[in-house]
Structures are given as structure tokens and as C-alpha cells.
Chains A and B, each alone.
Chain A
Amino acid sequence: MIEAVLAMGLLTIIGLILLKLSLNILMPRQWTVQQTITNAYMSYERALAERIPFENLVASNSPWPAFPTTNSENVELGRLPGGRLITGTVTRTRMPYENNFPIDGGSGTIDTNPAAMKVWKVQSVATYTIGGRNYAKSRTVLRSQ
């Protein structure tokens, strides 16, 4: 009888250890799945920020309005295995480089910025919720003219 109890106890311990080991592997994999899917979406934000003509970027109806004004949009980030849709919100804004002229949001002068360069940090922040947890991911592109 003692041997049987010992065997059951040992099996229980082995089962719990295996469960813990499996969960240790599963949790980072789930994190990787989320990262892969959301990284794929963020490549669109980066590509669009790099491609948009500069005059459209700084226009009054720019997809990236000058900070503190922001522009939010609900987007589909991708689908998890099983087809579950991941949706999120993308918030876009652009911030001026401090050496821009005042008209471009900076405090530069003709002495500090003789070429009248306009430099903007174009930022997109995606926020999404999976499994009750909130995540945020950002991409920033530097545009200048």
C-alpha cells in the first residue's frame, strides 16, 4: 500500500513538473505569436510614414497631425491561429525637431538652422488588448526636408 501511495505521489509530482515545463514553453510562444502579427502590421505604419510626400505630411489634414493633436483610427492588426481577429487602435502624431524654425514648431534661428531644414519625428502607436492585457507598440520615422 505504501508503495502505491508513493507511486501516485511521484506521478503527481512528475505531472505537475511537466505541466510547468510545458507552460514555460507555451507562454513565450504566445508572446511571439502576438509580436509577429503586430510587428507585421507596424511595418505598414513605417512604410507609409516613409513614403508619404512631405507636403502631405505637414499639411493641415495630415494623417500625423502636429503634437499634441493626435489622430486615432481603429485597425485590424491580424488574426491569431484559429482565425480570431486582433483589432487595435493606431494613434498618429508628429513632433518637431527643436532646431526647426518657430513656424515649423521649433525654436531654431537662421544661425542655428541656416538651411531652413524641417525635421519631424513621425510616430505611430498601436494599442491592442489580448487576453485582458493591454499592449502598446510604437514606430517612429524621422522625416526631413
Chain B
Amino acid sequence: MKIGIRKMRKAFTLVELTVVMMVGMMIGSMLIAIFNQQLAFLRIYQLQSFVTEEAPMISLYINRLIGKADRFRLHDSISDALSNTDPRITASPVCVLNFRLPDGSMRASILAFEDGVLNYYVVPESGVLGPSEWSITQRAADVQFYMEQGILRTQLTGPQGEQLIYSGATQ
């Protein structure tokens, strides 16, 4: 009988068990809170990634291309650009850049936003356009080229509604 009472005293009381469970739950909740905090920051990083990582590279490519070009034209489609029909100065998804070569001849390239991708094409001398040379970005929601006071402006809209407008003058 004495042995049985001793054994019962070694066990947890109901209050002790309750306290232990509450402490355990608190520790679990804190772990979940820390995990959620990290997830929240990762979401914020993800939201900012277009402007912080993608946009500077796009800016670098576009500004160098436009800065080296001798003239440009805006069109609504690549077919219009290739046939040199309906040039425009309003917002357009296609921009033709012309470069003068050392021998005095001209070569053309095309920046075109099509199906969510900003592509760069070099127009061959045959005039038949092959696959794009580069995909400058696949993350932009919209890219429009337009002209303002003689300046070629590139309006870049990101997946989160962020908007940047690059401007550049040709040579």
C-alpha cells in the first residue's frame, strides 16, 4: 500500500500537466510565429524582386541599345516594322532601331514586347526575321515605347504594378 502511494506522488498532478501543456503550446506558437515572420519577409522580397533585380538589367540593355542607335521607329507589330508601314509616336510595343555600320550601310534591330516577353531581334540583310537573339525580360507585365519631345521613352510595368519609365536619346 505504501509503495502504491509513493508511486502516485511521483506522477504529475492535473495542474502540473496543464501548465506543461500550456508551456508546450506557447513554445510551439512562438516557433510558428518565427516561421511566419520569415515567410512574410520572403514574400516582401519576392514582391520587390522585379524592381531590384530585373529592372536595372533591363535598363542597362535598353539604354545601351538606344544610345548606340542612329534612329528609331515605333510600330504596333513586328510585321508593320518589317514592312515599314504605319510608323507612330504613341505608345507602341515594337521599336525598330537603326545602326549605321562603318561602311556607311544601315542595319536594323527590333525590340518587341510580345506574349509577355521583351525580345530583341537583329534584322538580317535578307529581311526575313529569325528567332530572337535575346529575351531581355520575361517578367514584365507590359512594355510600351513612346516619344515625348523627341525622346524615346520606355514604360516598363512590372508584375506588381510597379512602373518605371526609361528615357534615352539616340546618337
Chain A residues at the B interface, C-beta cutoff of 8 Å: 1, 4, 7-8, 11-12, 14-15, 18-19, 22, 25-26, 29-30, 32-33, 36-37, 39-41, 43-44, 46-48, 50-52, 78-83
Contact = CB atoms under 8 A, between A and B. Distances in A.
Interface residues of B, number: 41
Nearest to A40: B164
Contacts of B44: 26
Contact of A51 (B23, B150, B153): B150
A80 B160 CA distance: 8
Contacts of B151: 44, 47-48, 51
Q: Interface of chain B, helix or strand or loop or mixed?
A: helix
A7 B27 contact: yes
Which of B63, B164, B168 has the most chain A CB atoms closer than 10 A to its own CB? B164
Interface string B44-61: 110110111001100100
Contacts of B26: 8
Contact of A37 (B19, B23, B162): B162
A80 B59 contact: no
A104 to B, nearest CB: 24
B38 interface: yes
Nearest to A5: B23
B165 A40 contact: yes
Contacts, number: 111
Interface string B22-51: 011011001101100110010011011011
Contacts of A41: 165
14 contacts: A7-B27, A11-B27, A18-B34, A25-B45, A26-B45, A33-B52, A37-B163, A40-B156, A40-B164, A44-B151, A44-B165, A44-B167, A81-B162, A82-B161
Interface string B94-113: 00000000000000000000
Contacts of A48: 149, 151, 167
Interface in B10-28: 19-20, 23-24, 26-27
Nearest to B50: A81
A82 B162 CA distance: 6
Contacts of B161: 79, 81-83
Contact of B30 (A8, A52, A82): A8
Contacts of A19: 37
A131 to B, nearest CB: 14
Nearest to B27: A7
B121 interface: no
A8 B158 CA distance: 42
A36 B27 contact: no
A19 B44 CA distance: 13
A14 B114 CA distance: 47
B72 interface: no
A50 B151 CA distance: 10
